[in-house]
Amino acid sequence: EDQVTQSPEALRLQEGESSSLNCSYTVSGLRGLFWYRQDPGKGPEFLFTLYSAGEEKEKERLKATLTKKESFLHITAPKPEDSATYLCAVQANQKVTFGTGTKLQVIP
């Protein structure tokens, strides 16, 4: 059974305090790993897709990396507007499996 585990469940950072969110997965035949951002009361918004180990992608203060067992979402010098829940999902075996998310709060 495909499994996706995100940690920590919640993270509280001071503005400017860099950190990383983790997404570990157990699947056979990974086709893609996705990161989404979800604001309260809204649908998930796509951030990145990673396809193979060693791949990295960046967008503003966010950088996603992928290994054979996990992915990290690095947040550099976060701002309050980065506060959201970040979801990870993997695509394998003709389906997409989502993690439960990390709720990030950035305090001014």
Partner 1 sequence: NAGVTQTPKFQVLKTGQSMTLQCAQDMNHNSMYWYRQDPGMGLRLIYYSASEGTTDKGEVPNGYNVSRLNKREFSLRLESAAPSQTSVYFCASIAGTLTDTQYFGPGTRLTVL
| Binding residues vs partner 1 (CB under 8 A) | 4, 31-32, 34, 36, 41-46, 49, 51, 87, 89, 91, 94-101
> 77: Cβ–Cβ under 8 A, 6 or more apart, which residues?
15, 16, 17, 18, 61
For the CB of residue 15, give the shortest distance to partner 1 in the complex, in Å. Answer: 28
Rg (CA), the chain: 13
How far is residue 70 from each of residues 11, 60, 105, 106, 108, measured CA to CA in Å?
Answer: 18, 22, 23, 24, 30
> Of 71 and 91, which has the nearer Cβ to partner 1?
91
State in angstroms the smallest separation of the CB of 21 from partner 1.
15
**Least distance to partner 1 from the beta carbon of 104, Å?**
17
Q: Read off the tokens for 88.
A: 């990870």
Which of residues 17 and 39 has its CB atom nearest to partner 1 in the complex? 39
